[in-house]
Amino acid sequence: MMGMGDVNVDMISTNPMRRESLLAAHNLLRELEANDSLTDDMKKILADLDSKLSAMELTHDSNNTSESIPILRERELNDAKEKLKSAHDKIMAWESNLERLDMLWESGPEMAAEYIEAVEDVLCLVELFRSLCIKGDDNYVVISQAEDVLQVAMQRLEEELVHILAQRRQSYVFPTVAEDDEGEDDEAEGVGCTTKEQGDIVFDLIDPEAIPFLKTIKKTMFDAKYDQDFCAAYVKTQKEALEDCLIGIGMETVSIDELVKMDWNIMASKMKTWIQVIRTAVQVYFLAEKRLCDEILGKSEPLQSLCLTNITKSSMTCLFNFGHAMALGPHTPEKLFYLLDMYEVLAEVQGQINTLFSEESGSSYLKTEFEEVMGRLGDSARATFVGFGEVILSDPTTDPFPGGGVHPLSSYVMNYIIVYLPDYCGTLNTLLQKKDGDDNNNGAVNQGLPEKSVLADHLRAIVAKLKFNLEKKSHLYRDVALQHIFLMNNTHYIQTKVINSELQKIFGDEWIRTQIVGYQQHATSYVRSTWSSVVASLRDDGIPSGSGSGVKLVLKEKIRIFSVAFEDVYRSQTGWVIRDEQLKEELRISISQKVILAYQSFIGRHSKYDIEKYVKYDSDDLENLLRDFFEGSQKSLNYRRR
């Protein structure tokens, strides 16, 4: 026995029927529908059958009599009007009944589903009206009424969309514990954070419970041909929320004119903030926006990429503008490492930018703009580094540095390249190679760059310019011996800084040996220029032969001349400075070997003349006095004859 749901409408439509038979079938269905004992599902089946019979009768061939068409169409219109009224009442109740909650989402899933069902009914009825009504017909106004109801519903759904996106948005909370602390990552990664993969922080931008209803709103509005309205509202809401979020963590628009006038400390702070903002923007929020667009709009939808582009482009433009401004600014040395940090963070997120903005989405201009900013920052960093040597040469210091110690320029330059540079060796080498057109070594690894790398050549050139400037500054000292002390101090300092740093291999062993020879030569020249005249008084020339009083007087005078000369050197050179203890001790030993040994030898050779009574300082006294040399504090002598 065939059930009610098994009625074959096609069989009815293909059998030859007289008009009376069709009318009888309609009447039968009407009577069955009026039966109170039928379930709602059964009544719905009968109503669908009735609608199909009417539609088939309206489109039937010439066997249908012209007088049946108005009857069937009128009946169908009346049924549709009743359904429209029911849907209208459900929809408009949300606009007029103040006792209801303001938002569907907050009223619970059942009421929201009922509203969506009413909207879907209106969508179906509009299509039915268009098939049944003829333009100019009195009933054609029903289509306009249905569309008006539909428009009200779309406005409501758009408000629901905006409300949910705003109220159920979640912000990423930065970790407050060290990255190495295992077992605490989940808690530290903030609201909605789920996993962390390859630098991407995956978290739910919108409360997951709200996603199904958002997808329902999207489907309903797209079915109603309100896709542009949906996208416009979605983009506007997400764009403003994203901008507010990034502004909250430091994004701002700063003009080039403002940057030029800005205090360096403030500018440096803004550059640090920019680095953090762009990393967070791309790796956290842009990726979260893409995942949300994929989930709600669908990955294959062309509008998905367009919406993502429109949501992020104003924030990206703001960040790009700051990057452009910094790249165009003056190439001062203090900017180098900030520029490199800015360049490196762009290199870090470049792969994600390429994933976010594809060629097909029409957003390739954002990728182009990104690459342009990255290129300009790289060019600016390279120009700043290359120009550093010229900055060294033009150092304006014209006063001799007190005591001949390590000049502040030496400390500045060596700390600049030794303390800060190692972390950027790979990046700098790559940028320098791009300029030179050399791609043999991409410099991707910061450590272990060879001596023949482009960076190594530039570093050695920078130190060469530093030493050239120091050579010029040495002539500010009138005392030739102090010139050698100054150059010895600074050459030794440069060599020591390199040999104790990560850049030792880059400079190379040969370069280091050259520096060692250099400061040793200056030490030798110092000893020769200072002590040769002092020791000259101890020569035997001018001592008369024999053993008379004349010999003793000459020996006495030679000892006196030596003591006076030593005292003069003592008074001046105790004020000179050698900060490196090992270098200081080595130089004292060299002085002792030249001066004190010569003094001991002189006393020993002429001891038969009983000259001990003429000796003001014995060798132990001189050794003790040497310990006062190069301490940077000038001293006087109050020795009495023993």
Where exactly are the structural domains of the chain?
4-151, 392-528, 537-626
User: In the prediction, which pLDDT does 552 show?
Assistant: 84
> Hey, how many other C-beta atoms are within 10 angstroms of the C-beta on 151?
13
- Rg of the Cα atoms in the chain: 46
Of 254-268, 367-381, 505-519, 525-539, where does mean pLDDT reach its minimum?
254-268
Of 1-5, 201-205, 255-259, 575-579, where does mean pLDDT reach its minimum?
1-5
Q: Extract the runs of DSSP E, i.e. beta strands, from 152-222.
A: 193-197, 200-203
Going by the DSSP 8-state scheme, the letter that residue 452 receives in this structure is: T
More confident residue, 555 or 136: 555
Instruction: Check pLDDT > 90 for residue 562.
Output: yes
Q: What angle do CA 37, 41, 46 make, to 5 degrees?
A: 80
Rounded to an integer, the average pLDDT of 347-375 is 85
Q: Distance from CA of residue 555 to its chain's centroid?
A: 78
What are the tens digits of pLDDT across the range 92-106?
Answer: 887 775 445 578 888
Cβ(390)–Cβ(464) below 8 Å = no
Q: What is the mean pLDDT of the chain?
A: 81
What are the tens digits of pLDDT across the range 4-23?
Answer: 334 343 433 444 444 455 55
Q: Are strands 200-203 and 193-197 parallel, antiparallel or unpaired?
A: antiparallel
Query: b/e map of 379-411 (b: 16 or more CB within 10 Å)?
Result: bbbbbbbbebbebbeebeeeebbebbbbbebbe
- Position 218, amino acid: K
Rounded to an integer, the average pLDDT of 366-378 is 93
User: In the prediction, which pLDDT does 175 show?
Assistant: 65
What are the tens digits of pLDDT across the range 106-163?
Answer: 888 888 898 899 888 888 887 777 776 655 555 566 777 888 888 999 999 999 999 9
Residue with tokens 């963590």: 249
User: In the prediction, which pLDDT does 435 show?
Assistant: 65
Instruction: Check pLDDT > 80 for residue 184.
Output: no
User: In the prediction, which pLDDT does 183 show?
Assistant: 40
More confident residue, 366 or 591: 591
Burial of 153 (0-12, 13-18, 19+ CB in 10 A): buried
Instruction: Check pLDDT > 70 for residue 257.
Output: yes
What's this model's pTM, rounded to 2 decimal places? 0.77
